[in-house]
Amino acid sequence: MPRTEARKAAAVVSLNIGQAAEASGVSAKMIRHYESIGLLHGVDRSDGNYRRYDESQLHSLRFIKRARGLGFSTGEIEELLGLWRNPRRASAEVKRMAQRHVADLDAKIDELRSMRNALSDLARHCHGDQRADCPILEDLAATVQRT
């Protein structure tokens, strides 16, 4: 076999779902899910109808895992995958998505910080002893009545 053909043959990877899960760090359940919602496509099947994954799909799974780790939604990941696969993409579009996501994360951080401060203040005013009165429960009850 000529050298280039041998390299091509070596580059072709065919892994079952368990092997793909191990190689990508994505659980088999999530791999099936990503395939079912269209994030992962082109998955071949063996003669016994078992899924077979190649290097390209492993790379996509790693991409998806990293994007999930950064908090991107499934829809955003779908869009990012489309951009990644498009050699004519404009990096400005990718940057715009990243900046929008950073702004969303900042808003969530502000919201969580506000929640933390409110709860911390309530806990500071609670005696935490055998008494029945509790400013935390009183505040929660007052909130329920206002809605």
- Domain residue extents for the chain: 1-89, 92-147
- Answer yes or no: CATH 1.10.1660.10 is held by domain 1-89: yes
What is the CB neighbour count within 10 angstroms for residue 36?
Answer: 9
Identify the pLDDT of residue 47.
86
User: Model-level pTM greater than 0.85?
Assistant: no
The token pair at 79 is 């869009």
* pLDDT tens track, the chain, 147 positions: 454 454 444 456 799 999 999 999 999 999 999 999 999 988 889 888 899 999 999 999 999 999 999 999 999 999 999 999 999 999 999 999 999 999 999 999 999 999 999 999 999 999 888 888 899 999 999 866 655
The token pair at 119 is 């709860």
Check if the beta carbon of residue 13 is closer than 8 Å to that of residue 54.
Answer: yes
Q: Could you tell me which residues come within 8 angstroms of residue 127 by beta carbon, excluding any fewer than 6 positions away?
A: 133, 134
Label residue 70 exposed, middle or buried (CB < 10 Å: 0-12, 13-18, 19+).
middle
Identify the pLDDT of residue 87.
94
Identify the pLDDT of residue 147.
52
SS3 45: strand
Tally the residues of the chain.
147
